[in-house]
Amino acid sequence: MVVFINGQFVDEKEASLGIADLSIQRGYGIFDFFRTRKNIALFIDDYLDRFFSSAHLLHLQPAYDKKAIKNFLAEIMRRNGIETSGIKLILTGGYSTDGFEPGNPNLIITQQALEVSSKEKFEKGIKIILHEYLRDVPTAKSINYLMAVYLRDKILAHKADDVLYYKDDKVLEFPRSNVFIVTKDKTIVTPAENVLQGITRKKVLELAGRKYKTETRSITTSELRDSAEVFLTSTTKRLLPVLEVDGKPIGNGEVGEITRGLYNSFVELEDEYFRMNEAKSN
Amino acid sequence: MVVFINGQFVDEKEASLGIADLSIQRGYGIFDFFRTRKNIALFIDDYLDRFFSSAHLLHLQPAYDKKAIKNFLAEIMRRNGIETSGIKLILTGGYSTDGFEPGNPNLIITQQALEVSSKEKFEKGIKIILHEYLRDVPTAKSINYLMAVYLRDKILAHKADDVLYYKDDKVLEFPRSNVFIVTKDKTIVTPAENVLQGITRKKVLELAGRKYKTETRSITTSELRDSAEVFLTSTTKRLLPVLEVDGKPIGNGEVGEITRGLYNSFVELEDEYFRMNEAKSN
């Protein structure tokens, strides 16, 4: 597999950063991640906008603009020839002279074969636990996943699939996904503040708004538990139904019809995006 | 300069980690840092105990024990020949196969010339600002300094030298130092919980206990502001008087006599440590 580092394409085995980089010294950097199919990057403009927004929030100035990065993406796809993949951009704090002050950011682009989460997984749904935690600078997609990696053991101990953060009784987000609830009167709600602005979240909000009332506002943990349906959204998982929270079922404990409908609409939206962009590139 | 990585001694220019390392992917790792003089590492047993404690807290299992690491330290000091230095141990989450699950930790040891903060700096003291923040897993010395690096601009904007974290009105710690107050009745107090257990903090508490009443307990922000003296402790700074908090002076705004006395005692304790360990190695 070929990896991009600061303008060079190198084999992944040789892809490395000097130990003075601020990601290694201080866990400082941002990233983004999106999927490709037939060498077309899904919702790429949304993802690149968020990448630059995260960089800006953490005071990192990438050496390349959006157009240059799109060219690198085209080149890495051409070299690797993996049609269905996940592509990750990492922008680190760069080489620090004193192990604390940022240097010029290092940009890494990696690609891996990736199938999106299956329909079977959707129908199985997931069980989650709650944990009180607010991410630092939550609107930036930073590389700081200390708490997420740390909580792996807690998730395992509770035989759960994921952990949902809340703070001061307000539901926030999963370490790598956004959360939605469907209220008993069929309103689709997702937290507005102190969460990462997920691209799948954004698209699902748009889709939901065509059929239902939607709200972005705070959700208490008890409102979450009393919801008709709960689901998460993420780039790799699309939508996944949450069937159990802290050992207690949501609704009747089965996949909800509104969640299933939104999942189907999202799959259609993806297909449409790929179809249109394939047509453009022909 | 020679750097140690996983059993190899390499030139710093060649010292790197593959980009799959969990420090780069997820900011996951721990570290420690101590000083040397005449190739003797100050309070080394305390620092190594904390290093292993941090590793344990973040579920990282180093491939080497304390004795092996002491041998690596002796070897890196022999090769670099810098008598007065700072030595950093970093233990990362290791090479991850999926960019999230930890692998076998990577151990890095670096050395750099380092003079301890001067008496002139001590006499000048510092100005600080307060910021509400609680570190994740605060008793572990993790590499997560996202907030600390992020707050550089805020410190600059306030023409301050450092930022002191507090949470729910309880004073905690600086990003890289512990905080102490001297009350008007000459009690020496430092926060007990949700802070890194600094080695200089520990030694200063011991020294203070010989002459004064000491307490480890919570300190409110108003108690901090009303203190007779405030100072920080850190490996690179020993003790530094805090003369101003959020633009308002502490006491009369001058270096306090108790802080100065503890600073002198700490310098003597260091000298004694080096003298004894020099005698041992002869």
The CATH code of the domain that includes A25 is 3.30.470.10
pLDDT in tens, A11-43: 999 999 999 999 999 999 999 999 999 999 999
Q: For the segment B203-218, what is each residue's pLDDT rounded down to a tens digit?
A: 999 999 999 999 999 9
* Residue B201: CATH number of its domain: 3.20.10.10
B100 and B138, same domain (yes or no): no
| From A27, A108, A142, residue closest to B23, measured CB to CB | A27
Q: Using the predicted structure, report yes or no on whether residue A257 has a pLDDT greater than 90.
A: yes
The kind and range of the H/E element at B99 are none
- Provide the residue range defining the domain that includes B23: 2-113
pLDDT of residue A280: 80
* Residue contact B150–A110, C-beta within 8 A: no
Please state the rounded mean pLDDT for residues B183-200.
Answer: 98
From A208's Cα to the closest Cα of chain B, the distance in A is: 31
Q: Are residues B155 and B266 in the same domain?
A: yes
B263 lies in the same domain as B205: yes
Examine the fold and report which residue of B82, B113, B144 is the final residue of a domain before the chain moves on: B113
Question: Per the domain annotation, does A281 fall within a domain?
Answer: no
Q: Which positions in chain B touch A236 (Cβ < 8 Å)? A: none
Query: Domain for residue B276, yes or no?
Result: no
Alpha-carbon distance values, A66 to A38, A48, A53, A71, A274 (Å): 21, 7, 12, 9, 20
Mean pLDDT confidence for A126-139: 97
Residues B153 and B59 in one domain: no
Q: Tell whether B70 and B129 lie within a shared domain.
A: no
Instruction: Choose one of B113, B144, B175: the last residue of a domain.
Output: B113
In a domain? residue A279: no
Judged by DSSP in three states, B22 sits in: helix
pLDDT at B279: 82
- Residue A23 falls inside a structural domain: yes
Candidates A1, A14, A25, A92: best to mutate against B (most CBs of B within 10 A) is A25
**A110 in contact with chain B, both atoms CB, cutoff 8 A:** yes
User: Residues A131, A154: contact at Cβ < 8 Å?
Assistant: yes
Is A146 in Cβ contact with B28 (below 8 Å)?
yes
* pLDDT higher than 90, residue A219: yes
Residue A30 contacts B, CB cutoff 8 Å: no
Within 8 A of B12 by CB-CB distance, chain A residues are 19
Chain A: closest CA distance from residue B225 (Å): 27
Q: Are residues A216 and A133 in the same domain?
A: yes
A250 inside domain: yes
Indicate whether B177 and B81 sit together in one domain.
no
Residue A130 C-alpha, separation from nearest chain B C-alpha, in angstroms: 17
Total of domains in chain A:
2
Does B141 fall in a domain?
yes
pLDDT > 70? residue B104: yes
- Per DSSP, the residues of chain A read -EEEETTEEEEGGG-EEETTBHHHHH--EEEEEEEEETTEETTHHHHHHHHHHHHHHTT---SS-HHHHHHHHHHHHHHH--SSEEEEEEEE--B-SSSSS--SPPEEEEEEE-PPPPHHHHHH-EEEEEEE---SSTTS-BS--HHHHHTHHHHHHTT-SEEEEEETTEE-B-SSSEEEEE-TT-EEEE--SSS---HHHHHHHHHHHTTSEEEES--BHHHHHT-SEEEEEETTTEEEEEEEETTEESTTSS--HHHHHHHHHHHHHHHHHHHHHHHHH-
Whole-number mean pLDDT of chain B? 97
Contacts of residue B13 in chain A, CB cutoff 8 Å? 18
Whole-prediction pTM: 0.96
Are both B87 and B156 inside the same structural domain?
Answer: no
Shared domain for A13 and A82, answered yes or no, is yes
Give the closest-approach CA distance of A256 to chain B in angstroms: 30
Q: Which pLDDT score, from 0 to 100, does residue A282 have?
A: 65
Q: What integer is the mean pLDDT of B243-264?
A: 98
Confidence of residue A281 (pLDDT cuts 50, 70, 90): confident
All residues of chain B having their beta carbon less than 8 Å from the beta carbon of residue A61 are none
Whether residue B146 and residue A153 make contact (CB cut-off 8 A), yes or no, is no
At B282, is the pLDDT very low, low, confident or very high (cuts 50, 70, 90)? low
Residues of A (6-25) whose Cβ lies below 8 Å from B: 12-13, 15-19, 21-25
In a domain, B280, yes or no: no
Asked if A138 and A260 sit in the same domain, the reply is yes
The reply to whether B14 falls in a domain is yes
Same domain assignment for residues A244 and A261: yes
Instruction: Name the domain boundary from B92, B113, B134.
Output: B113
* Partner B, chain A 151-190, Cβ-Cβ below 8 Å: 152-153
ipTM of the complex: 0.96
A48, A159: one domain: no
pLDDT of residue A28: 98
* Cβ pair B59:A150 closer than 8 A: yes
